[in-house]
Amino acid sequence: MSNITGKVVVITGASSGIGEATAQLLAHRGAHVVMGARRTERLDALASKLQSEGCSIAYQSLDVTQLEQMESIISYAQSRFGRLDVVVNNAGVMPLSSLAALKIEEWNRMIDVNIRGVLHGIAAGLPVMQKQGFGQFINIASVGAYEVSPTAAVYCATKYAVRAITDGLRQEVGGDIRVTLVSPGVTESELADSITDEQASQLMKVYRRNSIPASAIARTIMFAIEQPDDVDVNELVVRPTVRLA
């Protein structure tokens, strides 16, 4: 029996990409997984598939920008499975553009989902974990949390913020609650589909020529979770082996 079996894991942004791959992997490894996302039709299809394979899986509609919805899915996980072991704050958006394009609504959306969404996950999960005396947050950032590139200033700023919030949380919570930052490099996902700026879209096509599957990040998340309770994996950066010319 692994250290995954029986753990109750809430995953945001679970309808595609890293969230979906993580839900599948952890459910197959014996975790009780609660998926959250806005596209509930995708969650329903995934839940049905995994349940047919003998997995313990549930889902709830979730917009991470709404604190009450984040609190609701945490409460649902507790009531259904009796505890809360892990919150994977994965939901994110990436509509890249140059600052001069003044896509202010897209900037605000990134701030709301990528930063406020993570804070809401912490706000909903932390009191529960403190009361239990155990738990783990896994926040998904990006290599953009370490360097800035053209058209990605606002996106990178949000991921720098996730990195700072995660490290601050780790320092504040002490030894009972584990805190992990996972920063993916170029990964197969739908993130780039939200780019409306033509320049940024073309740059991203070149940038994403060599990417790793979402399952690689799912395995990284699993690695952090399955460590013994006295081991806290703080920060993991995962990139494709192949480098762009």
Question: CA triplet 64, 135, 138: central angle to 5 degrees?
Answer: 50
Structure tokens at 69: 């919805």
CA atoms within 13 A on the CB side of 125: 33
- Tokens 């609650």 label which residue? 177
Active centre residues (catalytic) = 155
Length of the chain: 245
- Output the DSSP codes for 30-53: T-EEEEEES-HHHHHHHHHHHHHT
Phi-psi region of 182 (alpha: psi -120 to 50; beta: other; left: phi over 0): beta
Helix (H), strand (E) at residue 161 = helix 153-173
Quick check: 87 and 7 in contact, CB under 8 A? no
- Non-local CB neighbours of 215 within 8 Å, separated by 6+ positions: 21, 25
Question: Beta-carbon neighbour count of residue 112 at 10 Å?
Answer: 17
Quick check: 211 and 188 in contact, CB under 8 A? yes
Quick check: 14 and 35 in contact, CB under 8 A? yes
The Cα 37–Cα 43 span in angstroms is 7
